[in-house]
């Protein structure tokens, strides 16, 4: 494990292609899947663990965000990670730090509305990490679909020499919580709450089913999901939307392999997000 970026870069010399998985720690099998994908296609795998204060709002859970470095190191080791980079706040944001990276357009909707400044914090820290690690590929989980879109845009616009690899969402297979998208924040929920939180994925599947039956009107598709959400009184909806590859919602859905259904809701005091493809072949972003 490295805390000093210069020491990490020295260790990476002559290590071939480098795959990078940026995380905030408290790793679960979704993270481990990213690491395994990196392991399969790269000579060297670097994992970062850093809870980034810049992407938390003033009333969010930065202080209470789950942390367990020793557990994370065991997960990383079992997934084949070569190096862990765990920088300090002083390394990432030294005294006088005053630069932010804003990605307009794709950051302005959905979570960008609900969490002002969040994507600026994400883009800033990821650009810094990419500059420090200098990987050939970066592996990002598609559970955070809008975040992946923001980072793709940033990497393209700023000519960052890295390939983005989107990895499909990993879902719980436990009997009590089938279909729940894995997230570090799931640790805030007990087993009964996790089971009830699957209403989000069930709502998304209802939209998929309506689309498969021939429905193309956006409002009708969304209503199919809302009908499922109504069955769970503890689901406080933030948004449910159907968007195209540009994260834009249109009155009717045109066939596009990158159409997506996205949902965010607060349940039992925890904000949860999820998404699924909406196209003839259920395609994901390459």
The binding site for ATP consists of 24-31, 141-144, 170, 182-185
Annotated binding residues for (R)-pantoate, written as ranges, equal 55, 147
Annotated binding residues for beta-alanine, written as ranges, equal 55
Return the structure tokens found at 33. Answer: 């899947």
Annotated binding residues, written as ranges, equal 24-31, 55, 141-144, 147, 170, 182-185
CB atoms < 10 A from the CB of 100, how many?
11
Is 118 one of the annotated active-site residues of the chain? no
Task: Tell me which residue of 26, 56, 72, 69 sits closest to 124, measured CA to CA.
Answer: 56
Distance CA 216, CA 228 (A): 19
Annotated catalytic residue, options 23, 31, 35, 201: 31
Residue 172 near residue 182 (C-beta atoms within 8 A): yes
Rg from Cα positions in the chain: 19
Distance CA 226, CA 29 (A): 29
Biggest CA–CA distance in the chain, Å, is: 57
Residue reference for tokens 């210069």: 6
Q: Is 24 helix (H, G, I), strand (E, B) or coil?
A: coil
Q: Which residues are catalytic?
A: 31
């Amino acid at each position: 494990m490295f805390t000093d970026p210069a020491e990490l870069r020295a260790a990476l010399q002559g290590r071939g292609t480098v795959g990078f998985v940026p995380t905030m720690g408290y790793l679960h099998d979704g993270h481990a899947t990213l690491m395994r994908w990196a392991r399969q296609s790269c000579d060297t795998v670097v994992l970062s663990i850093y809870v980034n204060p810049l992407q938390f709002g003033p009333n969010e859970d930065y202080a209470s965000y789950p942390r367990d470095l020793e557990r994370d190191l065991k997960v990383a080791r079992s997934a084949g990670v070569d190096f862990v980079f765990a920088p300090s706040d002083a390394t990432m944001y030294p005294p006088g730090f005053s630069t932010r990276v804003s990605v307009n357009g794709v950051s302005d909707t959905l979570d960008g509305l609900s969490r002002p400044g969040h994507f600026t914090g994400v883009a800033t820290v990821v650009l810094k990490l990419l500059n420090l690690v200098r990987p050939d590929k970066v592996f990002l989980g598609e559970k955070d679909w809008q975040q992946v879109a923001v980072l793709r845009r940033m990497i393209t616009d700023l000519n960052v020499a890295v390939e983005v690899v989107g990895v499909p969402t990993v879902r719980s297979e436990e009997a009590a919580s089938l279909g729940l998208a894995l997230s570090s924040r799931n640790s805030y929920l007990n087993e009964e709450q996790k089971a009830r939180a699957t209403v989000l994925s069930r709502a998304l599947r209802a939209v998929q089913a309506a689309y498969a039956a021939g429905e193309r009107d956006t409002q009708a598709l969304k209503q199919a999901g809302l009908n499922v959400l109504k069955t769970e009184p503890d689901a406080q909806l933030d948004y449910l939307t159907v968007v195209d590859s540009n994260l834009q919602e249109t009155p009717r859905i045109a066939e596009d392999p990158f159409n997506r259904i996205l949902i965010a809701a607060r349940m039992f005091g925890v904000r949860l997000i999820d998404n699924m493809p909406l196209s003839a072949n259920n395609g994901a972003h390459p």
